[in-house]
Amino acid sequence: MNLKNSKFYKRIQTLRHFSKEKILKERTIRTMALRGVEMALSESQCNHDVDAASVAAASAWSPPLSSTSRRKSPAGGAAKSKMIKKKTDTSPRTREKGFKPVQPASDEDNDGAEVNGYIELNKCRYRVACSGRVDATTSRAAEPLFVESKSTICVSNSRYAMIGRISRLLGYKLVKESKLWNILWSDSFPGVELFKNMKRFQQINHFPGMIEICRKDLLSRNLNRMLKLYPHDYKIFPKTWMLPADYGDAMHYALNHKHTFILKPDSGAQGRGIWLTNDLKTIGANERLICQTYVYRPLLIDGYKFDLRVYTLITSVDPLRIYVYNEGLARFATNKYVEPTPGNANDLYMHLTNYSVNKRNSQYDLCDNDDCGSKRKLSAINNWMTRHNYDVAEFWSNVDDVIIKTVLSAWPVLKHNYHACFPGHDTIQACFEILGFDILVDWKLKPYILEVNHSPSFHTNEQVDREVKRPLIRDTLTLVSTVLADKKQILREDRKRVKQRLLKSKGDSVLRPRQVAGGAKPPTNETNVATAPKPEAGSLAQQVAWEESHLGNFRRIMPPQDASRISYYSKFYAQSNQVSIFQETAASKKREDLARKMRLQIEEKRAKAEQMLLASTKRKRPIQPRSVREKHRQYMYRLKENWIPGFVSEAEERLRHTWQQMRSEAIKNLKITENIYALLYELGHLSNTDITVFPSLYHCLQIGYDIKGAT
């Protein structure tokens, strides 16, 4: 009996269908309610002015050296997309086809912002630019809420439950890593294999090569290199030496300057292993440390030292696109600051501002108000600065400058790695990354970069954390989720390409490296090979448009809003032209020397260990390998071939001859040979056939000597 035709089966199917619909409806209502709560928590304000021209400039502008970039300027945009000059407002925050932006009833039905243009894509309209202040909260509230996203996110490699929660609120479906996720959120740097196997609709929250600025030693190396190239522009970090390679330089500086130094483990974090000293002689010559001049006059609030955690989002490296979150954290030390003396240098609660250090102090202030507490919001710091007549706008423009220059110091590596890992990613950017920049401010309001974190903490222990980090994650996911990543379509295209490639003749199908657009290396993974997609001219333009219209509380700092700054930053892109990043410097030579010495030491140790092992196991000469034996044999042969007899004197020769005669006569007279033979015969060791084997015996018998009688 066919169960599928039975009435019972059909009834169950109908019921299933209805319950599915019901669940969906309920989920929508829940999503809306939760979003409402989330919005209420958010204090973010869209305080950026973006006009259509700047959008165009931003998307059209690319660094002068990015000639290898596969992307074109958005002039004209994609065939599908159009710029429309209208006053309507729809900002769908979804990316899959299932989301239909609701058209407003009238032109006045927007959030009061003057809208300059829209991009039309797949019959949906996306806001491109707005001028004037836009209240993000109200604008979002007016936005259509989507029902159910087909986009998936994998957060199983993240320890922060908040990421999963917010993703779900935004309509993402949480999936395992083994599934075809749209976004992978990981706390650690993934391996190159994962990057290389990514499909064209997938995004990951790390860029390959970002370690160049996220490890203290690499950051110091890159910034020092840039300082050498651009001495006036790169005074953005305290003087730094990498020990032991720069030990001599550091000692020389210490001799000529009375300064306090701060020493940090080269790949440490959370304030571990940090100490202050003004005597560098106490450091061992072989210790691996980062040595920095101590910024001894920091800006103080209420007498406490603090540093800033500035959240920065990078959405693309070629062209470089950087956004800074307007809200962040200021982390305070918990003992009042006094300039370092030998007496207080050990007081970490005074000199370090790490949360992980200061939370252990009983003085740690958990106050929730803006103007107190050991952790405060950046907006509170801005208010404090305004109250104290500091130029807040100028200060933040300096911070932006520090961030841009820090990222630019690793730009050649970032760009190279991106193109090497993602030759086929033509529709959307394969990566985005939230970086936590630790900025220290001195009494003149000059910002210094201390460190860059590739996985800033998203723990929400305090109210202030929740107020900053939740909107940050939400705005990030919104900004990176472009409408362009249509999973199904891309998979279909990829399958078609693979099929075409297989059907094509062998000779035609092989794509030579140079045929890949943009001069990038040939793709390696199955889906990306062969017919690597031609980059859509407008895909970047569309992404830019999406980003500009979904900034949330982010502000764009790269490309800069101010057109005059564009040419200023252009010169830093040319760093790889001026000097190879692998060029030899005094420090790099020293580093090489050290490495060579270390290698020799290791080899010596290994040889000694081998010798000891040999001595302990067998006291025999080891059998040499066949190749060595063969070499030795050939050497001996050649020696024989070329042998020339030495000089022999006649007297010597005569003497030798006489001795030989005397010896044979003695043997004969004493009948030594015969005696031996007779003995052997008697013992039964010798038979008559042996005469052929022992010619002397044969000789004896021939001359009639009876060997028996010899005894």
Q: How much is the CA Rg of the chain, to the nearest whole Å? A: 40
Task: Specify the residue, 64 or 273, whose C-beta has the smaller distance to ligand ADP.
Answer: 273
Which of 111, 438, 462, 475 touches ligand ADP by CB under 6 A? Answer: 438
Task: Specify the residue, 143 or 307, whose C-beta has the smaller distance to ligand ADP.
Answer: 307
Binding of residue 402 to ligand ADP (CB under 6 A): no
Residue for token pair 């250090």: 357
Task: Specify the residue, 184 or 357, whose C-beta has the smaller distance to ligand ADP.
Answer: 357
Q: Are strands 433-441 and 183-186 parallel, antiparallel or unpaired?
A: unpaired
Q: Give kind and range of the element (H or E) at residue 574.
A: none
Site for ligand ADP in 529-548 (CB under 6 A): none
Binding of residue 66 to ligand ADP (CB under 6 A): no
Task: Specify the residue, 55 or 333, whose C-beta has the smaller distance to ligand ADP.
Answer: 333
Taking the alpha carbons of 233, 413, 476, 523 in that order, is the dihedral positive or negative? positive
Whether omega before 319 lies within 30 degrees of 0, making that bond cis, reads yes
**Shortest Å distance, C-beta 275 to ligand ADP:** 10
**Shortest Å distance, C-beta 380 to ligand ADP:** 18
**Shortest Å distance, C-beta 336 to ligand ADP:** 14
Task: Specify the residue, 99 or 241, whose C-beta has the smaller distance to ligand ADP.
Answer: 241
Q: What is d(CA 299, CA 292) in angstroms, rounded to the nearest whole number?
A: 18
Q: What is d(CA 388, CA 395) in angstroms, rounded to the nearest whole number?
A: 13
**Shortest Å distance, C-beta 303 to ligand ADP:** 15
Three-state SS at 489: helix
Whether omega before 244 lies within 30 degrees of 0, making that bond cis, reads yes
Q: Which residues of 215-252 are buried (b: 16+ CB within 10 A; e: fewer)?
A: bbbbbbbbbbbbbebbeeebebbbbbbbbbbbbebbbe
Task: Specify the residue, 89 or 462, whose C-beta has the smaller distance to ligand ADP.
Answer: 462
The size of the interface with ligand ADP (CB under 6 A), counted in residues, is 20
Are 81 and 71 spatial neighbours (Cβ–Cβ below 8 Å)?
no
Task: Specify the residue, 248 or 268, whose C-beta has the smaller distance to ligand ADP.
Answer: 268
The overall longest dimension of the chain from CA atoms, in Å, is 144
Q: Which range touches ligand ADP (CB under 6 A), out of 137-145, 265-273, 388-396, 474-482?
A: 265-273
Residues 6+ apart with CB under 8 A from 3: 9
Binding of residue 332 to ligand ADP (CB under 6 A): no
Binding of residue 352 to ligand ADP (CB under 6 A): yes
Which of 200, 264, 377, 405 touches ligand ADP by CB under 6 A? Answer: 264
Binding of residue 262 to ligand ADP (CB under 6 A): yes
Task: Specify the residue, 56 or 440, whose C-beta has the smaller distance to ligand ADP.
Answer: 440
**Shortest Å distance, C-beta 442 to ligand ADP:** 9
Binding of residue 349 to ligand ADP (CB under 6 A): no
Residues 6+ apart with CB under 8 A from 244: 285, 286, 287, 288, 594
Task: Specify the residue, 226 or 440, whose C-beta has the smaller distance to ligand ADP.
Answer: 440
Residues 6+ apart with CB under 8 A from 232: none
Site for ligand ADP in 300-329 (CB under 6 A): 307
What are the beta bridge partners of residue 544? none
Which of 119, 184, 218, 440 touches ligand ADP by CB under 6 A? Answer: 440
**Shortest Å distance, C-beta 276 to ligand ADP:** 9
Site for ligand ADP in 280-299 (CB under 6 A): 292, 294-295
Within 276-434, where are the H helices?
Answer: 348-351, 355-358, 378-387, 392-409, 411-421
Task: Specify the residue, 441 or 480, whose C-beta has the smaller distance to ligand ADP.
Answer: 441
Are 374 and 364 spatial neighbours (Cβ–Cβ below 8 Å)?
yes
Task: Specify the residue, 407 or 541, whose C-beta has the smaller distance to ligand ADP.
Answer: 407
Q: Give kind and range of the element (H or E) at residue 683.
A: none
Are 527 and 497 spatial neighbours (Cβ–Cβ below 8 Å)?
yes
Site for ligand ADP in 622-651 (CB under 6 A): none
Site for ligand ADP in 441-460 (CB under 6 A): 450-451
SS3 for 13-66 is HHHHHHHHHHHHHHHHHHHHHHHHHHHHHCCCCECCCECHHHHHHHHHCCCCCH
DSSP code of residue 339: -
Task: Specify the residue, 186 or 453, whose C-beta has the smaller distance to ligand ADP.
Answer: 453
Q: Give kind and range of the element (H or E) at residue 696.
A: helix 695-702
Q: Give 71-75's long-range contacts (Cβ < 8 A, gap of 24+).
A: 71/318, 71/319, 71/518, 71/535, 71/539, 71/540, 72/535, 72/537, 72/540, 73/541, 74/537, 74/538, 74/540, 74/541, 74/542, 74/544, 74/545
**Shortest Å distance, C-beta 368 to ligand ADP:** 23
**Shortest Å distance, C-beta 473 to ligand ADP:** 22
Which of 271, 398, 594, 705 touches ligand ADP by CB under 6 A? Answer: 271
**Shortest Å distance, C-beta 147 to ligand ADP:** 43
Residues 6+ apart with CB under 8 A from 463: 368
Tokens (6 digits) for 517: 């657009």
Site for ligand ADP in 451-510 (CB under 6 A): 451
Which of 270, 580, 658, 675 touches ligand ADP by CB under 6 A? Answer: 270
Task: Specify the residue, 145 or 269, whose C-beta has the smaller distance to ligand ADP.
Answer: 269
Q: Which range touches ligand ADP (CB under 6 A), out of 63-71, 268-276, 366-374, 669-677?
A: 268-276
Are 78 and 536 spatial neighbours (Cβ–Cβ below 8 Å)?
yes
Whole-angstrom distance between the N-terminal and C-terminal Cα of the chain? 114
Q: Which range touches ligand ADP (CB under 6 A), out of 135-143, 351-359, 552-560, 696-704?
A: 351-359
Task: Specify the residue, 164 or 271, whose C-beta has the smaller distance to ligand ADP.
Answer: 271
Site map 228..247 versus ligand ADP, x via CB under 6 A: ----------x---------
Number of alpha helices (DSSP H) and beta strands (DSSP E) in the chain: 25, 19
Q: Cα separations (Å) of 36 from 29, 39, 40, 141?
A: 11, 5, 6, 8
**Shortest Å distance, C-beta 33 to ligand ADP:** 39
Task: Specify the residue, 262 or 299, whose C-beta has the smaller distance to ligand ADP.
Answer: 262
**Shortest Å distance, C-beta 441 to ligand ADP:** 11
> Which of 323, 399, 407 lies closest to 575 in space, CA to CA?
407
Task: Specify the residue, 169 or 308, whose C-beta has the smaller distance to ligand ADP.
Answer: 308
**Shortest Å distance, C-beta 297 to ligand ADP:** 10
Task: Specify the residue, 227 or 490, whose C-beta has the smaller distance to ligand ADP.
Answer: 227
**Shortest Å distance, C-beta 404 to ligand ADP:** 20
**Shortest Å distance, C-beta 357 to ligand ADP:** 8
Task: Specify the residue, 431 or 450, whose C-beta has the smaller distance to ligand ADP.
Answer: 450
Residue 352 burial class via C-beta count within 10 angstroms: exposed 0-12, middle 13-18, buried 19 and up: buried
Binding of residue 353 to ligand ADP (CB under 6 A): yes
Which of 65, 124, 269, 581 touches ligand ADP by CB under 6 A? Answer: 269
E strands in 294-350: 300-301, 304-317, 320-325, 329-332
* Residues engaged in binding ligand ADP (CB under 6 A): 238, 262, 264, 268-272, 274, 292, 294-295, 307, 352-354, 438, 440, 450-451
